[in-house]
Amino acid sequence: MNTTDNGRALARSRANKRLRNLTIGTAVFGVAATGGLGWLAAVTYDGSSAGATSAVVLTTTADNPATSNSTGATRTSTAAIGTAPAATATPVVTAAGGTAHATTGGS
């Protein structure tokens, strides 16, 4: 029988203990971080939308070829943040001629 102890069992035991401690530490840190972020969100958010009504103004000029119009005029758009978008006209659906075929992706 081979009774030579070369330290592998002790090294494996230390590695398992280190892995266990690392796993427990990661779990504790995750719970603490989640609680901390939840606390921070609760402290900083008062539940009202009063601060969400600031306006954003976007101005484009003819100097930007990607957004310029043919006249070279300046266009300005204003939108209030946190407000509902303006109502748009509902598109009218008309019947088209021919046959229609709809699939759901099945074979």
| Whether pTM exceeds 0.75 | no
Question: Between 79 and 6, where is the model more confident?
Answer: 6
- Residue 36: is its pLDDT beyond 50? yes
Question: Between 9 and 31, where is the model more confident?
Answer: 31
| pLDDT at residue number 68 | 46
Q: What is the mean pLDDT of the chain?
A: 74
SS3 for the chain, per residue?
CCCCCCCHHHHHHHHHHHHHHHHHHHHHHHHHHHHHHHHHHHHHCCCCCHHHCCEEEEEECCCCCCCCCCCCCCEEEEEECCCCCCCCCCCCCCCCCCCCCCCCCCC
